[in-house]
Structure 1
């Protein structure tokens, strides 16, 4: 099964090797036909601690790293050039 990749903004990097990423999704409400924005925060593993607050990053599913971390920051050059 392919791993999901999401794009978001780093909102916190105070924890060691961890960043909190805010991911926004937009969809049309089925009845009201209005565009709705929903946000969700993910905690992602950042081993090199290279990302700062405000950076656009891509995160990818991975095996559990800790109690709350199930995502890792994608660090390949193509992804960082796009973001």
Structure 2
């Protein structure tokens, strides 16, 4: 019986390959605290159908490359797009203050005058 796991796609940049993160919780053997662990699996996606942040089911398979040992079974739930730093299109007050300060420093009175 081959293992089946469910995880979240963290990268879909390579052709026919996904990077899936499987999170697990376990009790620390010495301190007893519940800690989170994660396992990274490289998954073969023949049709390039999964995207970043999708929840997917994967199954163990024969080795397809040095790191790929899993196949995509199905997409359990579609994600909401890429997660990462959001770039605002509108300037904020802090950015405007930095821009004004930079313009004032680059003027002709920025340094001592050579006489």
- Structure whose residues are more often strand by fraction: 1
Using CA pairs under 8 Å that are at least 6 residues apart, name the structure with larger relative contact order, 1 or 2. Answer: 1
TM bucket by the smaller chain? 0.7 to 0.9
Question: TM (normalized to structure 2)?
Answer: 0.62
Structure whose CA Rg is larger = 2
Give RMSD over aligned pairs: 1.4
| 8 Å contact kept, 2:54–2:76 | no
- Within 5 Å, which residues of 2 pair with 1:1-83? 2-75=1-74, 80=76
Secondary structure (helix, strand or coil) at the match of 1:21 reads strand
- Structure whose residues are more often helix by fraction: 2
Structure 1 Cα separation of the partners of residues 25 and 76 of structure 2: 23
Residue 40 of structure 1: CA displacement?
A: 1.6
Secondary structure (helix, strand or coil) at the match of 1:74 reads strand
Structure 1 residue runs of 5 or longer lacking an equivalent are none
Residue 65 of structure 1: CA displacement?
A: 1.2
* Number of equivalent positions: 77
Question: TM (normalized to structure 1)?
Answer: 0.85
Structure 1 stretch 27-36 or stretch 62-71: which is displaced more? 27-36
